[in-house]
Amino acid sequence: RAKAAGRNAVRLFEPEMQSVADERLELERGLRAAVESLGSETSFQLHFQPQVSIRGRLLGAEALLRWRHPTLGDVAPDVFIPIAEETGLIHALGAWVIGEACARIREWDAHRVDFGEHLAVNVSPWQLAHPDFVDRTEKLVREAGVQPGRITLELTESALLQGFEAALQTMYALAGIGFRLALDDFGTGYSSLSYLSQLPLHELKIDRSFICGLRPEAHSPLASFIVDVGRRLGMTTIAEGVESESQRATLDTLGCDGLQGYLICPPLPAGAFVAWLEQRENTRHPARADERGA
Ligand code: C2E
Ligand code: MG
Ligand code: MG
Ligand code: MG
């Protein structure tokens, strides 16, 4: 195929492809080094983004991983997570994320910082497919002294690609231990509706792609349908990537339970997140809505 494109085209693309390969190699090397030194110092950090009810009551937060490469600078999780998955580094890195989340829960409890009921962490399908994932995760959380029910494990539909039965079994084991389970990015994967009804899920997260076009005056069949499915299956529905008040108002009309997005707050480092919580506590804006039981 390269030949068909002509000699000049090939020559044009070569240096570019080389630099892409170089950067990928450098990222992979950096990631390996960073994961290997996780015990001592770390170039990883968790940021936290609040999740609130549609009326503004605090529900919890999602932990989002950040990584700074020593020379390339900040690398987006959409770039380094796939590399961690392909190299198998995701298992150690994912365990660190859960350990860190537990440490923050303990710390915030000790300082009476109210961040809501639960803290969510993202779990890669590769982690879920690892035979030791359930045991290791249970041990990690127990040793940290955190109730599993305070942790939401965010899975994606691709978790099912390892085989439905295997994934189902793992999910039931996790739910049995007491973890909350959420399906992340819902609507972007391949899972059928019959699968969805069999999964022990507590929460359905509606992908941002269904949220960005929401307008109060426009009919929104897909978002409306997803909220409905979640509710009928007894799950909490959370909208991702809510950026405007009009999107929030539309989600309210549709009966969506909660939301997360820049409208409320962007993901913040732990210190700034706690400051945000405290400032919110002081102004207590949504207090009236909450008293009415929102
Ligand atoms: P996700 O779990 O679906 O996380 C939501 C993403 O949307 C986050 O991107 C968040 O920063 C972004 N976001 C939040 N509110 C808004 C908004 O109002 N508008 C827009 N445009 N974006 C918003 P981020 O932090 O870059 O993470 C991207 C993805 O990387 C995550 O998607 C998740 O799949 C993955 N990821 C992040 N941390 C971890 C982790 O610790 N482990 C694993 N396995 N994956 C992770
Ligand atoms: Mg997520
Ligand atoms: Mg998502
Ligand atoms: Mg995503």
Q: Which residue has the CA at smallest separation from atom 12 of ligand 1?
A: 241
Q: Relative to the CA of 97, which ligand 1 atom is closest?
A: 41
Tens digits of per-residue pLDDT, 152-183? 999 999 988 788 999 999 999 999 999 999 99
Tens digits of per-residue pLDDT, 60-112? 999 999 999 999 999 999 999 999 999 999 999 999 999 999 999 999 999 99
Instruction: Tell me the residues surrounding ligand 3 (ion) with CB < 5 Å.
Output: 184-185, 240
Concatenated DSSP letters for the chain? -TTTT-HHHHHHHHHHHHHHHHHHHHHHHHHHHHHHTTTT--SEEEEEEEEEETTS-EEEEEEEEEEEETTTEEE-HHHHHHHHHHHTTHHHHHHHHHHHHHHHHHHHHHTT----SEEEEE--HHHHHSTTHHHHHHHHHHHHT--GGGEEEEEEGGGGGG-HHHHHHHHHHHHHHT-EEEEEEETSS---HHHHTTS--SEEEEPHHHHTT--TTS--HHHHHHHHHHHHTT-EEEESS--SHHHHHHHHHHT--EE-STTT---EEHHHHHHHHHHHHHH-TTHHHHHTT-
Which of 45, 47, 122, 124 to mutate for ligand 1's pocket (most ligand atoms within 8 Å of CB)? 122
What confidence score (pLDDT) does residue 289 get?
46
What are the pocket residues of ligand 1 if the criterion is a CB atom closer than 6 Å to any ligand atom?
49, 64-65, 76-78, 81, 94, 97, 122, 124, 154, 184-185, 208, 240-243, 260-262, 267
- Global ipTM: 0.98
Read off the tokens for 142: 């127990």
CB-CB contact of 130 with 93 (8 Å): no
Q: What is the whole-number distance in angstroms between the Cα of residue 78 and the centre of ligand 3? A: 11
What confidence score (pLDDT) does residue 213 get?
84
Tell me the one-letter amino acid at 276.
W
Rounded Cα–Cα distance for residues 21 and 13 (Å)? 12
pLDDT in tens, the chain (294 residues): 444 444 555 555 567 777 888 889 999 999 999 999 997 878 999 999 999 999 999 999 999 999 999 999 999 999 999 999 999 999 999 999 999 999 999 999 999 999 999 999 999 999 999 999 999 999 999 999 999 999 999 999 998 878 899 999 999 999 999 999 999 999 887 767 888 999 999 999 999 999 988 887 777 888 999 999 999 999 999 999 999 999 999 999 999 999 999 999 999 999 999 999 999 988 875 554 455 444
Q: Relative to the CA of 65, which ligand 1 atom is closest?
A: 38
Q: What is the whole-number distance in angstroms between the Cα of residue 68 and the centre of ligand 3? A: 22
Rounded Cα–Cα distance for residues 209 and 76 (Å)? 19
What confidence score (pLDDT) does residue 42 get?
86
- Per the rule left: phi > 0, alpha: psi between -120 and 50, beta: everything else, 224 is alpha
Q: What is the whole-number distance in angstroms between the Cα of residue 49 and the centre of ligand 1? A: 10
Instruction: Tell me the residues surrounding ligand 4 (ion) with CB < 5 Å.
Output: 185
What integer best gives the mean pLDDT of the chain?
Answer: 90
Q: What is the whole-number distance in angstroms between the Cα of residue 224 and the centre of ligand 4? A: 20
Rounded Cα–Cα distance for residues 101 and 260 (Å)? 18
Q: What is the whole-number distance in angstroms between the Cα of residue 131 and the centre of ligand 2? A: 22
Which ligand sits closest to the CA of 207?
Answer: 3
Sequence-distant (≥ 6) Cβ neighbours of residue 239 within 8 angstroms: 205, 206, 211, 223, 247, 251, 256, 258, 259, 260, 261
